Structure 1
Amino acid sequence: MTLPARISLPVALRPARGALTTPRVCATPSRTLTFPAAQPHYARRFHVSTNTKQRLRLTGNQSQLTGPYNTSPTLKATENDTALRKEVEDLKELVAKLQEEREQLVATKGGIPNTIEPTLGERECISQDAPLFSDAKLDAQWVKLIPAPEAEDTKLMILSRLWLRDSCNCPKCLDPDSGQKTFSTTDLPEVPATSRDNVRVRNDGSLEIIWENDPISNGESHRTVLSAGELNLLYHNNNPRIQLQPPIPRTLWDNASYTDLVRSGACHIDYNDWRNNDEAFWTAFEQFTKTGLIFLKNVPQEEHSVINIANRIGPLQYTFYGWTWDVKSKPRAENVAYTNVFLGLHQDLMYHDPIPRLQLLHCLANSCEGGESLFSDGVHAALQLLNTDPEAYDILTKTDVHFGYDKGGHHYYATRKTIEADPNTGAPFITHWAPPFQTSFPAKDKNNRLRRWRDAAEKFQRLLEKEENMYEVKMKPGECVIFDNSRVLHGRREFETSTGSRWLKGTYITPQVYRAKETELVRRLNKGKPWPVDSTEERGRIWQLERDMVKQRKK
C-alpha cells in the first residue's frame, strides 16, 4: 500500500512521546479498540498538514474504532473535496490493516494482554522516529526549532549557529575512518553565515542548514543535516554523544539473594564463552552491570589469562603496582593484601585518581587452610543505612574522609565521601570504604566532625559486615572474579601458609574504559541507536525501586 506523504493517524493512533512501538489493545473484541500509546512501524512519520486540519475535524477528544469490525472513524468533511476523500480512504485502509494485524495476533496468541512489555533489547529511545519539530526560524545568532503540532508537550528549542556548524558530522567535517573532526572550532566565525531560506526542517523531521561562505569549504556553501533522531535526543539530553549507562535498575544483593542468582545460573560464565562467544559475553556483561560481581570458570592456569579476560572489556589500568600484580603472602609486604592476615572489607586505591572501576583476581593457587574471599554490596548497605538511620547516612554523604599512600617513593592522597549520593535524588551510587588506607582527619576540628563521622561510619560498617550481607566463597584454581570497585567491597579471611599456597593474579580497569563498554552494551541493546541519558525523574524512579527492594528484604 502506498500512502500519501502528509496523511495522519487519528489522535488515538498517535504515539505518546517516549512510547514503545508495541501497540496496546483491548483484550476482547467487544470493547472499544484504541491505540493510546502506540504507532505502527509503517506510519511513524505521517502528520496532518495545516490545510487538511482546517478541512478535517475529528469528532470528540479522541477518535476511536468502536466495535470489533467498525473501521471507520467518525469524520465531518467537505463532500466535494476529492483530495480529502482520498486521504480518508487511505486512512480507512490503514486502520483496516491494523484491525487485521490485531485479529492475527488474537488467533496466534490466544488473546492480547492490555500491555505488552518488551524485553530490554526491544526498547527504543525516546521518540526516535517521531519528529518533535516541524519548522525552523533564523535569528541573529540562533536557530529556533518550532515544535510539531502533534508533539503537544514539546517546547521551543534554541541552538546557536556556531554549535550547529561545529557539530556537523558530514564526511567532510568528521573523518569516516577515524571518526575525528577535520577542523578546529576556532576555524569557524563567531556567527556562521546563512540565510532564512537556507534553514528548514525537512519532511522527515531532520534539520537542514546551508552555510554561506564557509571557511572549512574554502568559501563555498556547506550543508549540515541533523536527523530527527539526533534532534530528539538533543532535546531530551543536551548532549547525545556522551558515554551512556544501561537504563536498568541495579540488582542490590545480600548473601541469600546473590546465592540464589548463582544457583539459577547467573553471575558466572565459562572462560571460552567470555572470550569467544559474543552472545554469552554480552548476556554475562549485562548481568555484571546489574550486580557488580561475576565469576569466570575454567580459566587457563597461566599468568597472562587475567589480561585476556580484562581485554574483552578494554585496556588495563596501569598503577604503581604495574599492569598486573600478584596477591601472595611475603615478608615486609608493601600492601596488607600481600600478607596472610585477615583482610577486612574494603575498596582498592581510594587514594588514586582515577580510582580503578573494575578489579579482576584470577586464582592460580589456593591450597592452604582459610583464605576465603568475602564480598559485600556497599550500595545495598548504604540503602539499609538510609532506611534505618537517615541522619547517619547524611553525615557519610557530606563528610570528607582522607586517604593516602606514602611508601617506596609513591605519594598519593585524596579525599572522598564515604557514600556518594545523587545530588537530585539523594540515592547512593558509589561508596568509598578502605580503613587500611585512611589517613588522619584535620587536627583542628571545632565541629567535632571526626566524632560524628566515626559514629555514623560504625553503623555503616556493621551493615557491610553483617553475615547475611556478605557473600563468602573459597576461590579455586581456574576461577577469576570481576567486581565493581565503586560499590562491591572485598576482603579475605586469614590463611595458614604452612598448609599450602595462595596466589591470585590481579589487574584493574579504569572508569572510562568500563563506561565505554557500557555504552557499547546500550547500543547493542538498542540496535545501534544511542540511548538517552536517564532523566532525574527516571533515576528517582529506579532509586525508589531499589529502596523498596531493600526494605522488602529487611521484612
Structure 2
Amino acid sequence: MNRVINREQECIIQSPHLHLLIVFLLVERLAMPPTASTSILRIIPSRRASNLIRPVVQSRHQSGSSESRPPTRPRQPRTDIASFAVGSDLLTPPIKAPPSRPIGAETHRPPVRPSSLPRPVLKANPYAGNYTISEADLGEPSDTAVITPVHPSSPLSSSTHAEKRHRRRPFAQRRSGGGPVEQKAQHVFNFPPNESVAIYPGYITYTNEGVTKTITSARLYDNCNCPRCRDKSTKQKSTTTLDAISQSTTPTYRKVRHKHTGKHGLLIDWSSQNQHATFYPTWVLRWITDPESFDRIHRTPSFTRQPWDAEALSRTQLRIPFSEMQSSLLQVLEQLQVFGLVVIEGVPTNPTTDQECMLRKTMGMIGEIRNTFYGETWDVKSVKQSKNVAYTDLDLGLHMDLLYFSSPPRFQALHCLRNRVNGGMSYFVDSFKVAYDLPAPLFETLQNHHIGYMYDNDNHYLRYQHPVIDPEFSLTNPHAAVNWSPPFRASTGPLPSAPKSPVLAASEETRIYNAVGEFEKRLADPKYRYQFTMREGDLVLFDNRRVLHARTSFRDKTEEERTQEGIELVEGEPTRWLKGCYLDGEVVWDKLAVLQRQAHDAR
C-alpha cells in the first residue's frame, strides 16, 4: 500500500461509510506484508476509528517483525474481526456449528421439560355406536396407501422434518422475512380418467384437466354431510366452523371405490378411534372447488336471461291458457325467469274479494304472496282523491314498483277483472335489453349513479337510493336489477363526490344528467315496447326488477258505445279494475328448482 495518501483518498475516507471502509482495510491488511500495517493508522483521521483498529494493526505488525519482543497487547483473533463486522451490521452472523463428538461417545441429551399444559381428557363419544360415513357400502380400497399428514399447528415429529427445521434458510429468505414455503406432497392419489388428489399437511389439492384447486382440512370437514354432521330429518348442520377447525387436525386419507356405483373417491377418517369418516366422490371435490359447478348443483337454477325487444318477445311462449296452468307451471316459470314476462289467459274474474280472488289462488300454485302496506293483494282502479298515480285514469309512464323499499319485490302479478273503458293500453319494456344496447361509457355512468325514491303519503314515509344499473349486472346473476321509477323520485341533492371546482362540478353533473336522459330516451323507443290491451281474465306476471310496465290514459265509454258493444255495468264496480300482488324472488326460484328437479327425475 502506498504510504502517501492523495487528496482523493482522503475524501473517500471521510465519507459516511466509515465502518465499511474499516472492514475493507482489515481484509486488505491480512494480505499485506507486516511492514505496511502502520500506514493504515495514518489514513484514518478519526480518533475513534483509530482506537478501534489500532490493536489489530499493531498485533499484525509485531507478529511479523524480525525482533522478538513481547507484544504490548494480545493478538486479536480472526473471529473478533468477524464479530466487529457483525456489530457494524455489515455481515449476517453465522450459525454456530454443533460441537464435534468423539466416535463412540455417548450422547447426553438435556432432560425434556414437562409440558405446562394439562393432559387432554377425551370425553366419551355419543356417536361411537353409530359409526357412519357420508356414502354407505364402500368397496375395498383400491389404493391402500394411508397418509396421516402433520397439521401445520402441531409439532413436527419425523427426523427429516426436524433436520429441515434447523437447516439455515437462504440469505434472501432471511432478509425478506420469509413467507409460505412450497411443500412437497406426501402422497398423490390418481383417479381415472384425468383427476388427482395430492395430500399436504393441513390441506389437499384437487386437479382436474390440468386445473389445480386447494381445499383445507377444515373445509373438507365442514362439507361433511354424514348423519353425524347433518341431521337426516331437518337436513340442517349439527357441526360448526369451530368444530371443523378443531376436529380436522390429523385426518387419514384413503383412495376407495364404491362397490355399487363404481365411483372413485377419497375416504377421510377424522378421528384416531375411527368413529367419524367422510367419503368424497371426485365429483364432490369438483363442485366444492369450482364455483360454476357448485351453482349448477346446489344453488337456485340460474337460467340465463335473454334480452328482448318487441319482435323477439312475440316469438316466445308468452301466452299460456289458465286451463293448462297446473300442468305447465314449469313452463310458466321458465318463461318468467328467462324473458321476465308471461301472460296467463282466461283466469276467472270472479270472485273478486281479496281472500277468495283467483289471483291469490293462481299465485298460490307458486308460493307465498309478499305482504306490504298495500296488503297481500290490492286493487288498481280509478278513485277520487287517489294516494297513488296508479289509482287514476291518467297516463302512467314506464316504472317499477316500490323502489322506495331497500328490497323491492322481485316479481309482480296483475289480473284484469274489468276493462270496459277506452284506452288504458298496457305496455312493457325489457330494461336489460336497453341497458345492453347502451355505449360502454353511459352504461358505467349509470352503474355509479344512484337515484333516490320516496313515498310520503297516507301516513307512510319511505325513502331509499338505488343505482340505475346494478354494479354486479349480468344476465347470469339472478339478483341483477335495473332501477327506474320516475313518478316516485325524491328531491335530488349534490353529487356525493362533486369536484371542488365549480366548473368541474357543473361539468360532472351535466355528464350524469345527460347519461340518465339518454337512458330515458332509449326506453321510450317504440322498438323496445311490447304492448297490448289486457282483456278481462288476462293475468300478467313479470319481473319487477327488470321489466318496466306502463299504461296509457283511459276514459269511460259513453252510454252509446256501451250499447253498441253490449257492455253492462255493475253498480259500484269500477270500469277498469286490476287486482295485483307481489312475490319475492326466492319464492319463484324455490318453486322453479323443485319443478326442475322433479322433471329431471321423471326422465
> What TM-score does the superposition give when structure 1 sets the normalisation length?
0.62
Shift of 1:420: 2.1
Give the total of aligned pairs.
380
2:382 maps to which of 329, 332, 353:
329
SS of corresponding position for 2:438: helix
1:134 maps to which of 174, 181, 196:
196
SS of corresponding position for 1:486: coil
The residue aligned with 1:431 is 482
SS of corresponding position for 1:369: strand
The residue aligned with 1:112 is none
Q: For 1:229 and 1:526, locate their aligned partners in 2 and report how far apart those are by CA, in whole Å.
A: 19
Q: For 2:215 and 2:318, locate their aligned partners in 1 and report how far apart those are by CA, in whole Å.
A: 45
| Within-5 A mapping of 1:7-22 | none
1:406 maps to which of 452, 456, 460:
456
Say if 1:193 and 1:289 are closer, same or farther in 2 by CA, change over 3 A.
same
The residue aligned with 1:226 is 280
Is the contact made by 2:303 and 2:476 (CA closer than 8 Å) also made in structure 1?
no
- In structure 1, the gaps of 5 or more residues are 1-48, 51-128, 214-218, 530-555
The residue aligned with 2:413 is 360
Shift of 1:397: 1.6
Q: For 2:509 and 2:459, locate their aligned partners in 1 and report how far apart those are by CA, in whole Å.
A: 29
SS of corresponding position for 2:394: coil
SS of corresponding position for 1:333: coil
SS of corresponding position for 1:440: coil
Say if 1:378 and 1:524 are closer, same or farther in 2 by CA, change over 3 A.
farther
1:286 maps to which of 334, 357, 372:
334
**2:568 aligned with 1:508, yes or no?**
no
Letter of the aligned partner of 2:335 in structure 1? Q
CA distances 1:158-213 after superposition (whole Å, capped 9, x unpaired): 222222222211233222233212344445553524343x4546472322211116
Is the contact made by 1:206 and 1:228 (CA closer than 8 Å) also made in structure 2?
yes
**2:374 aligned with 1:315, yes or no?**
no
Shift of 1:479: 1.0
Say if 1:404 and 1:242 are closer, same or farther in 2 by CA, change over 3 A.
farther
Is the contact made by 2:302 and 2:476 (CA closer than 8 Å) also made in structure 1?
no
SS of corresponding position for 2:199: strand
Identity, in percent, stands at 30
| Within-5 A mapping of 1:528-547 | none
Letter of the aligned partner of 1:205 in structure 2? H
Q: For 2:435 and 2:552, locate their aligned partners in 1 and report how far apart those are by CA, in whole Å.
A: 23
| Within-5 A mapping of 1:424-463 | 429-443=480-494, 445-446=498-499, 447-448=505-506, 449-463=508-522
> What TM-score does the superposition give when structure 2 sets the normalisation length?
0.57
Q: For 1:162 and 1:342, locate their aligned partners in 2 and report how far apart those are by CA, in whole Å.
A: 60
Is the contact made by 1:174 and 1:181 (CA closer than 8 Å) also made in structure 2?
yes
Q: For 2:369 and 2:226, locate their aligned partners in 1 and report how far apart those are by CA, in whole Å.
A: 33
The residue aligned with 2:468 is 418
The residue aligned with 1:125 is none
Shift of 1:251: 2.8
Q: For 2:585 and 2:359, locate their aligned partners in 1 and report how far apart those are by CA, in whole Å.
A: 18
Shift of 1:424: 8.6
Shift of 1:379: 1.0
Say if 1:221 and 1:131 are closer, same or farther in 2 by CA, change over 3 A.
farther
Is the contact made by 1:251 and 1:291 (CA closer than 8 Å) also made in structure 2?
yes
Shift of 1:488: 0.6
Is the contact made by 1:422 and 1:429 (CA closer than 8 Å) also made in structure 2?
yes
Is the contact made by 2:206 and 2:214 (CA closer than 8 Å) also made in structure 1?
no
| Within-5 A mapping of 1:212-291 | 212=271, 221-237=275-291, 239-240=294-295, 243-248=299-304, 250-261=305-316, 266-274=317-325, 276-277=326-327, 280-291=328-339
The residue aligned with 2:391 is 338
SS of corresponding position for 1:332: coil
Say if 1:165 and 1:472 are closer, same or farther in 2 by CA, change over 3 A.
same
Q: Which has the higher contact order (CA 8 A, sep 6+)?
A: 1
**2:545 aligned with 1:489, yes or no?**
no
Q: For 1:374 and 1:171, locate their aligned partners in 2 and report how far apart those are by CA, in whole Å.
A: 53
Say if 1:384 and 1:185 are closer, same or farther in 2 by CA, change over 3 A.
closer
SS of corresponding position for 2:290: helix
The residue aligned with 1:394 is 444
Say if 1:194 and 1:132 are closer, same or farther in 2 by CA, change over 3 A.
farther
The residue aligned with 1:94 is none
SS of corresponding position for 2:437: helix
Q: For 1:229 and 1:525, locate their aligned partners in 2 and report how far apart those are by CA, in whole Å.
A: 22
Q: For 2:283 and 2:442, locate their aligned partners in 1 and report how far apart those are by CA, in whole Å.
A: 45
Letter of the aligned partner of 1:135 in structure 2? V
SS of corresponding position for 1:354: coil
**2:432 aligned with 1:373, yes or no?**
no
Is the contact made by 1:293 and 1:482 (CA closer than 8 Å) also made in structure 2?
yes
Say if 1:515 and 1:459 are closer, same or farther in 2 by CA, change over 3 A.
same
RMSD: 3.2
The residue aligned with 2:529 is 470
SS of corresponding position for 1:190: helix
Say if 1:260 and 1:457 are closer, same or farther in 2 by CA, change over 3 A.
same
CA distances 1:329-361 after superposition (whole Å, capped 9, x unpaired): 112222211111100001111121321111000
Say if 1:394 and 1:134 are closer, same or farther in 2 by CA, change over 3 A.
closer
Letter of the aligned partner of 2:197 in structure 1? D
SS of corresponding position for 1:385: coil
The residue aligned with 2:216 is 160
- In structure 2, the gaps of 5 or more residues are 1-141, 144-190, 500-504, 559-573
CA distances 1:273-299 after superposition (whole Å, capped 9, x unpaired): 22x21xx22123222222111100111
